[in-house]
Amino acid sequence: MDSGKKIIYLDNNATTPIDERVLEAMMPYLTTNYANANSTHKFGVEAYEAVKLARSKIADLIGSETSEVIFTSGSTEAINLAIKGVAENYFSKGKHIITVATEHPAILDTCKYLESRGYRVTYLSVRSDGLIDLSELRNALKEETILVSVMLANNETGVLQPIKEVAALSHSAGAIFMTDATQAIGKIPVNIDESGIDLMCISGHKLYAPKGIGALFIRQRNNRIKIPALLHGGGHERGIRSGTLNVPGIVALGVAGDLAKKEMISTSRKVADLRNLLEDKLLSIENTRINGNKEQRLFNTLNICFQGVDSDALIMGLSNPEDEFPMIAISNGSACTSSSIEPSHVLTAMGLNENDAFSSIRISLGKQNTRAEIEITIEAIKKRVKELKNMI
């Protein structure tokens, strides 16, 4: 990303930069105290204490007990641990799982794997605004349903699913409720008890901590969920996730969670204003529309379709170093699937035809973005879209 030219980074749902305060907090554990948190000497104890503090900060952010937080390498690992764990531990009750067609590949591919192992998975559809229909969920729930996994915020559109209602329905049918909260944690308040969440994944690199650290919340009170280990070894993380603890990453996640909690209101106001400005100005371009429910949506995300415009050409044009504008980083689809030539599975599930899906881009803002950056982006996108339309 060091091109010698100014960069306007608007792909924060793919990954965020590290907050300087987070970097500062983790540095000692990379340099001066690199001890193993399991070592009994003084330095090991210090590392252990730092992990303990970080765990309490994450528990505080989501309203859980510290014993309910297991550190992982990120959300993909947490999701695999949770879904495969439920499948392995609860199969005697049934082999049916419910999820949604617009989930992240980490969920969908884990479910597909379980299908190959004899589990039955129902993929709920979404309406044209990206929201699920609760009556479809109600009809899908069966006695043999062991798990319902519905994401809180969609990574491509920002659409927020009604997870409280989903949790209540799941519990009334005796199923465990899991939510992929990767995009929501740190942006909006999430309380596991208020929402009735049994399992939830968190990823550091979506909230200004580094890549390679995350967590899984596993409910232990009221409805004790048992998750067997995926990785076996030294018995770390209550035997659920063995492997020497990533102390710098864990410290970073704790500080990032703490900062997110303290600054949530001011950050969300600032970022929402910028996103709304961007959205209003871009909607003035002809044949343009927003993908996803405008109200039930993350404040930082804008998924927008410029009908007839090739989104790849737009994205490449905006990040061209030869351009008169700073280089602008935006995306289409999720980062994990954007190398594929398939249209976004999220947008097609919402009923967009292939052409419209290929004409849609995702702009995701972060707390570091400024009004000046957004004004330049508006100008640059308007110019590029006009050029691309004239080329048709």
Binding flag, residue 106, ligand PLP (CB under 6 A): yes
Query: Which lies closer to ligand PLP via its Cβ, residue 303 or residue 334?
Result: 334
Binding flag, residue 182, ligand PLP (CB under 6 A): yes
Report how far residue 193's alpha carbon sits from residue 223's, in angstroms, rounded to the nearest whole number.
Answer: 11
Binding flag, residue 146, ligand PLP (CB under 6 A): no
Three-state secondary-structure class, residue 241: strand
Asked if 32 and 50 touch (Cβ cutoff 8 Å), the reply is no
Binding flag, residue 75, ligand PLP (CB under 6 A): yes
Asked if 69 and 215 touch (Cβ cutoff 8 Å), the reply is yes
Q: Categorise residue 308: left if φ over 0, alpha if ψ from -120 to 50, beta otherwise.
A: left
Binding flag, residue 180, ligand PLP (CB under 6 A): yes
User: Within the chain, where are the H helices?
Assistant: 20-26, 42-62, 75-90, 105-116, 134-140, 163-172, 192-195, 247-282, 311-318, 345-349, 354-358, 371-390
Residue of 111, 201, 305, 336 with catalytic role:
336
- The site for ligand PLP, by CB under 6 A, has a size of 15
305 is catalytic: no
Binding flag, residue 344, ligand PLP (CB under 6 A): no
- Smallest distance from ligand PLP to CB 215, Å: 10
Q: Give the residue, chosen from 179, 183, 246, 369, that forms a contact with ligand PLP under the rule CB under 6 A.
A: 183
- List, in order, residues 6 or more apart from 109 with CB less than 8 Å away: none
- For residue 117, how many C-alpha atoms fall within 13 Å in the half-sphere facing its CB? 14
Q: Give the residue, chosen from 170, 203, 303, 332, that forms a contact with ligand PLP under the rule CB under 6 A.
A: 203
Q: Give the residue, chosen from 99, 122, 149, 155, that forms a contact with ligand PLP under the rule CB under 6 A.
A: 155
Pick from 192, 227, 253: nearest CA to 50: 253
- Smallest distance from ligand PLP to CB 89, Å: 22
Binding flag, residue 12, ligand PLP (CB under 6 A): no
Query: Which lies closer to ligand PLP via its Cβ, residue 203 or residue 332?
Result: 203
Which residues on adjacent β-strands are paired with residue 123? 99
Stretch that binds ligand PLP, among 33-41, 141-149, 319-327, 328-336 (CB under 6 A): 328-336
Binding flag, residue 74, ligand PLP (CB under 6 A): yes
Stretch that binds ligand PLP, among 45-53, 73-81, 132-140, 166-174 (CB under 6 A): 73-81
Pick from 365, 298, 334: nearest CA to 104: 334
DSSP 326: P
Binding flag, residue 104, ligand PLP (CB under 6 A): yes
Q: Give the residue, chosen from 130, 214, 257, 333, that forms a contact with ligand PLP under the rule CB under 6 A.
A: 214
Stretch that binds ligand PLP, among 90-98, 249-257, 258-266, 331-339 (CB under 6 A): 331-339
User: Within 91-156, where are the H helices?
Assistant: 105-116, 134-140
Instruction: Give the tokens for residue 364.
Output: 């995701």
Instruction: Give the tokens for residue 243.
Output: 């492997």
Asked if 97 and 87 touch (Cβ cutoff 8 Å), the reply is yes
Binding flag, residue 99, ligand PLP (CB under 6 A): no
Binding flag, residue 102, ligand PLP (CB under 6 A): no
Query: Which lies closer to ligand PLP via its Cβ, residue 292 or residue 317?
Result: 292
The residue to which tokens 């210090």 are assigned: 46
Residues that bind ligand PLP (CB under 6 A): 74-76, 104, 106, 151, 155, 180, 182-183, 203, 214, 334-336
List active site positions: 336
